[in-house]
Amino acid sequence: MNIIVCVKQVPETTEVRINPETNTLIREGVKSIINPFDMYAIEEGVQLKERFGGKVTVLTMGPPQAEGALREAISMGADEGILVCDRAFAGSDTWATSYTLAGAIKKIGAFDLIICGKQASDGDTAQVGPGISTHLNIPQVTYVKKVEDAKEDVMRLERMLEEGYEVVETPLPALLTVVKEINEPRIPSLRGMMRAKSAKIIIWSQKDLNLDPQQIGLCGSPTQVVKIFTPPQRQGGQILKGEIPDIARQLVELSRSEVS
């Protein structure tokens, strides 16, 4: 089974900075980690390889420092890492990101399964995974909590719902987005870390992918952040005491004072 795991390197919550000109996150030079949900995607890809055989390729789009995320994935058991890196991709929204990653997947070639985390901690949109499946015109199953079985051309899954789960089958190739209930990410072994350190990371630019320049980066993003501001600090509340008629009277007086 040829598996592609899409991951994203996100800023640590204490290190978030915004570009005042583009209103997008500054990623270069900022301490970053693998998006937490993507850790479960990596682990599931490796577990499926261990169950059914095959290969796990980890794919990410980002600045040069995102290479560290790929090496961490390799240390967990992935076979290779591909970094899509070009200033032309900077400022991509979820549409442009999914379009770019889909282009990279087409360049990779034949695959049976794509796995993504359900969402990224820096955006929380949960749109990139479904966007990739749309660009590739393949089935998608979101919020997967368990892979029950997989055959040559079909996979049976448990999909998490608000009050339980449903069992679904999907033809392959397909794309899954997974939740944290699916597994427990492993701690890399010393052997895995040594292999990751010496692994050769494949780097593709816009020239390698030959994508439509009108659909990538900031200019290819139909959604853009127009303004970013810090919400005003909330004022302390007021506790009203007494019998219900007294409290009602106090509320009326407060509302009158606010109007005046």
Residue 15: the pLDDT is: 57
Residue 46: the pLDDT is: 97
Q: What CATH number has the domain bearing residue 12?
A: 3.40.50.620
Residue 213: the pLDDT is: 93
Residue 151: the pLDDT is: 86
Evaluate whether residue 231 is within a structural domain: no
The enclosing H or E element of 3 equals strand 2-6
- Mind giving me the DSSP string for 146-186? EEEEE-SSEEEEEEEETTEEEEEEEESSEEEEE-GGG--PP
**Composition of the chain by helix, strand, coil, percent to 5:** 35, 25, 40
Residue 16: the pLDDT is: 61
Evaluate whether residue 26 is within a structural domain: yes
Distance (Å) of CA 257 to CA 232, 251, 252, 253, 260: 21, 10, 9, 6, 5
Residue 179: the pLDDT is: 96
Distance (Å) of CA 84 to CA 118, 209, 214: 21, 9, 17
Residue 229: the pLDDT is: 67
Evaluate whether residue 63 is within a structural domain: yes
Distance CA 128, CA 93 (A): 9
Distance CA 180, CA 14 (A): 23
Evaluate whether residue 39 is within a structural domain: yes
Evaluate whether residue 10 is within a structural domain: yes
Domain that holds residue 197: 2-215
Question: In the chain, which residues have pLDDT < 70?
Answer: 13-30, 228-230, 259-260
Distance CA 208, CA 202 (A): 11
How many domains, in total, are found in the chain?
A: 1
Distance CA 227, CA 22 (A): 9
Residue 233: the pLDDT is: 79
Is the pTM here over 0.85, yes or no?
Answer: no
